[in-house]
Structure 1
Amino acid sequence: MADQGGAAAAARAVCLGESMAVLLPDRPGPFEAVGAFRPSVGGAESNVAAALAALGVPTAWISRIGADGFGRRLTGDLAAAGVDVSAVAVDPHRPTGVYLKETGGSGLPHDLGPGRSRLHYYRTGSAASALSPALLDDPAAAALLDAAPLLHLTGITPALSDDCLALVRALLARRRPGRLVSFDLNWRPALWRRRDPAVLPELLDAADVLLLGADEAQDAFGAGDPQALRRRFPSPATLVVKDSGHLVTALDRDGRSVTEPALRVEVVEPTGAGDAFAAGYLAGTLRGLDQRSRLRLGHLAAAGALTAPTDHGTLPDARTVAALLAADERDWAATRVRASGIDSPVLPAPVPPAPDPVPAR
């Protein structure tokens, strides 16, 4: 197991899946023109875990890492973010997965173009691809899985290997009263080119809370309309669909539907916003908030990620969050989020900076 200590409080949420080392370029352009790369960490499930911890939800992340510096970086950064990593296994034979980010805008030959980016994955044979149902016999992992009221999975894990698929199936089959299973599709076409995506629908339909992007669902299943997806996946208690128009619709199994627009945000970096939304929505679910407030908390968490230069943003203070959750539709629509702060009719006007003092003559 990883040697970093976990969070002090018992985990209320467990996120399970692969995270990877990330190498970020120091400038836009094709790799042959990049001078250096800055190391970071990334992964859908660990992003959700870190965001849940930031939202005050004690959270654990379960996975496998290599016995290498990238793996130690992963567990160290997540532990520093308040995530319990006590059930992360260290694999002495397989490496931690790595991906590199390529960004466009240099104008050089082979450039992707302004505003475009591409992720290059090197994860075949990674430590996390060896996750299997044997995990359920590990005492540290079993204790977390048995106690937490929420388990979060994504469609990335079953695409990694047959053993990973078997683990996800085993987790979905181990239902117990009082525990929710959330599942975010996180469609990765490159991963599924090597595997059969026909296994996905049965996994998604076994969740309690199913999170889908309309565009990825259209790509994966040929349907992106919330009502059509609700018919395609009838079993989850709640289906949450995010569309390209920045509307998110939650459809309950009993036919109730709530749609909430995203806030208007001056975007700094889009990476991680979907994971932050999932964390906000799930935190609201664990707090017993009504459906609209869950969606709004998801939007607020996503806005924090969109206005941060890294994958992880921050939420405003509790008073600001409470005011925005309670705002009427007009005031919510009038709210603007920038890196410098939030402007909203329900919040006090920002205090302008004091003028420079006039020097004495």
Structure 2
Amino acid sequence: MPGPSCDVVCLGESMVTFLPTRPGRLADVPAFTRAIGGAESNVACALAAAGHRTRWVGRVGTDGFGDHLLATIAGYGVDTGAVRRDPHRPTGVYFRTDADRATDAHEVVYYRAGSAASAMSPDTVPYDTVADTRILHLTGITAALSPDCRDLLYDLTAPRPGRPLVSFDVNHRPGLWRDGDAAAVLRDLANRADVVFVGADEAERLWGTADPAAVRSLLPEPAALAVKGGGGLATTFELPAPATEATEATEVRNTGDGIGATDATEVPGTAHGAAAPRVGDRVTAVPAPRVDVVSTVGAGDAFAAGFLSATLRGLDPRTRLRHGHLMAAAALTSPGDLAVPPPRAHADRLAALGDGDWGRLHLGPGWTSAGTEADEEVRNR
């Protein structure tokens, strides 16, 4: 029986973004260059560039910005055939400064209210357009766009036979939440997913704690939870999977014993079955390598892409985290939301470094095009 036609389907809003031609306040920047932005399409593009079969599902207007989005995303090798064009609503756009998102100097102005993507709902996005995949990737941004979008996320994360493994990035954007329900809604959606990504800063803002173990107690249901903490440390909590041969052909399933398992048996305690306490978590923490940061935008999406790529390959928790860090490092050392990932063989060599060599790893602009010589230079530092 043939498997799913996609490795990962990513659903959400993508927008045209205008980047400043020089540092400064939006009020002072005289000109902007055009690019694209969108958490879910970023993940789809990064995974496609890494060699996976990806599809982006969303809605755009019938305007020129929608044309640009579709052409650009498809240019990365992403299937855009399920994207719908809305003749009555525009494609979203936004402007931002080049300052770090975490600083007070960062400014972003969205023009997405009433956008085509905000009309996504269970009625406008048929389930079969997202179900034919090994992993379905969603983010909390979509839930903030409109009540219909929120209903769609609840529909896609509902227990149902044959549901693909659901990945959910909390991705809290305070400026998008108008009704004050972010903490409850995002916690609820995260607990309905199988793989969850959340930053410690987001958890502190939403739920009053940045401690990874405390976050796990708030999100006990996902089979795997990745908490990205301060200083670049990322920690996963997951129940161990049964021993399997880690191959690209392994079908990713959630059996309640972790992710990447091949046994398709339903086990109570997963997001698909009855709730059960999360005892026996395997906890893995991996620091990020040192990086010469060019831009922080898109790094979180890249981390998710690297982690999911390694998940599709059936790799162990430490290696999944390292691939997340490496993909994030590609974004951090490049301008804009999207970066060229390192070749798989190069990333695999770096991810396999011993702890000492990994701790000495220092990545700067252009590192993704390096090869074996760069690896040896790292080892000899």
* Number of the residue aligned with 2:292: 266
Query: 2:48 maps to what in 1?
Result: 53
Q: CA deviation at 1:229?
A: 0.9
Structure number with greater Rg is: 1
The aligned runs of 1:215-226 (5 Å cut-off) are: 215-226=201-212
2:77 is paired with a residue of what secondary structure?
A: coil
Which residue number in structure 2 is paired with residue 121 of structure 1? Answer: 110
Aligned match for 1:163, one of 148, 153, 162: 148
For residue 89 of structure 2, the aligned residue among 86, 89, 94 is 94
3-state SS in 1 of match to 2:22: coil
Please, which of 182, 196, 214 is the counterpart of residue 167 of structure 2?
A: 182
Aligned residues of 1:54 and 1:314 also touching (Cα < 8 A): yes
CA distance in 2 between counterparts of 1:346 and 1:178 reads: 42
Q: Distance in 2 between matches of 1:54 and 1:344?
A: 20
Q: Percent identity?
A: 48
Aligned ranges 1:59-98 → 2 under 5 Å: 59-98=54-93
Q: Deviations over 1:115-166 (max 9, x none)?
A: 93211111111110000001343xxxx4442220100010011111110011
Over residues 56-98 of structure 1, what are the superposed CA-to-partner deviations in whole Å (9 max), with x where a residue is unaligned? 1111010000111111111110000111100000000001111
The separation in 1 between residues aligned to 2:76 and 2:330, in whole angstroms, is 16
Q: Specify the alignment match of 1:11 in structure 2.
A: 6
Cα deviation for residue 326 of structure 1 reads 1.4
- Paired residues, what number? 331
Distance apart, 1:346 and its partner CA = 8.3
Decide which of 363, 369, 380 is 1:337's aligned counterpart.
363
**Is 1:305–2:302 an aligned residue pair?**
no
What residue in structure 1 maps to residue 213 of structure 2? 227
Structure 2 counterpart of 1:319:
345
Judged with a 3 Å threshold, the aligned counterparts in structure 2 of structure 1 residues 38 and 234 are, in CA distance, closer, same or farther, namely same
SS at match of 1:117: coil
After superposition, residues 138-217 of structure 1 pair within 5 angstroms as 142-177=127-162, 179-197=164-182, 198-217=184-203
**Does the 8 A contact of 1:97 with 1:122 survive in 2?**
yes
Contact 1:331-1:345 at 8 Å conserved across structures: no
Conserved in 2, the CA contact under 8 Å of 1:327 and 1:346? no
Task: Describe the shift of the 1:248–1:287 C-alpha distance in structure 2 as closer, same or farther (beyond 3 A).
Answer: same
Measure, in 1, the Cα distance between the counterparts of 2:50 and 2:85. 28
1:230-287 per-position Cα deviation (integer Å, ceiling 9, x unaligned): 1111110011000111100000143110000001111111111110000000111111
Q: Distance in 2 between matches of 1:336 and 1:187?
A: 29
* Partner residue in 1 for 2:301: 275
**Paired residue secondary structure (2:375):** coil
What SS does the aligned partner of 2:297 have?
coil
Query: Aligned letter for 2:301?
Result: D
- Alpha-carbon distance between aligned partners in 1 of 2:301 and 2:346, rounded to the nearest angstrom: 22
User: How high is the TM-score relative to the length of structure 1?
Assistant: 0.86
Q: Could you say what secondary structure the match of 2:226 adopts?
A: strand
- Relative to structure 1, the CA distance from residue 322 to residue 200 in structure 2 (aligned partners, 3 Å threshold; closer, same or farther) is closer
Aligned counterparts of 2:99 and 2:36: Cα–Cα separation in 1: 21
Q: Pick closer, same or farther for the CA change 1:10–1:257 going to 2, 3 Å.
A: same
Instruction: Report if aligned partners of 2:19, 2:98 keep a CA contact under 8 Å in 1.
Output: no
> Residue type of the partner of 2:213?
Q
Query: Does the 8 Å CA contact 1:332/1:344 hold for their aligned counterparts?
Result: no
3-state secondary structure, aligned to 1:94: coil
C-alpha displacement of 1:20: 0.9
| Superposed displacement of residue 199, structure 1 | 2.1
1:226-265 aligned at under 5 Å gives the runs 226-253=212-239, 254-265=280-291
> For residues 321 and 17 of structure 1, do their structure 2 counterparts lie closer, same or farther at Cα, with a shift above 3 Å needed?
same
AA partner of residue 274 (structure 1): G
Query: Displacement of 1:210 after TM fit?
Result: 0.8
1:348 aligns with 2:376: yes
Q: 2:124 aligns with which of 135, 142, 167?
A: 135
SS at 1:134 equivalent: coil
- Mapped to 1, the partners of 2:51 and 2:97 lie a distance apart of 33
Deviation at 1:169, TM superposition (A): 0.5
Cα gap change, 1:288 to 1:31, in 2 (>3 Å) = same
| Structure 2, unpaired ranges of 5+ | 240-279
Residue 6 of structure 2 aligns to a residue whose secondary structure is: coil
Task: Assess, with a 3 A threshold, how the Cα gap between structure 1 residues 302 and 35 changes in structure 2: closer, same or farther.
Answer: same
Unaligned stretches of 5+ in structure 1? 1-8, 106-111, 351-361
Q: Give RMSD over aligned pairs.
A: 2.3
TM-superposed deviation, 1:13: 0.5
Compared with structure 1, are the counterparts of its residues 343 and 222 closer, same or farther at alpha carbon in structure 2 (3 Å cutoff)? farther
Q: Distance in 2 between matches of 1:149 and 1:329?
A: 31
SS in 2 for 1:332: helix
Displacement after TM superposition at 1:179 (Å): 1.9
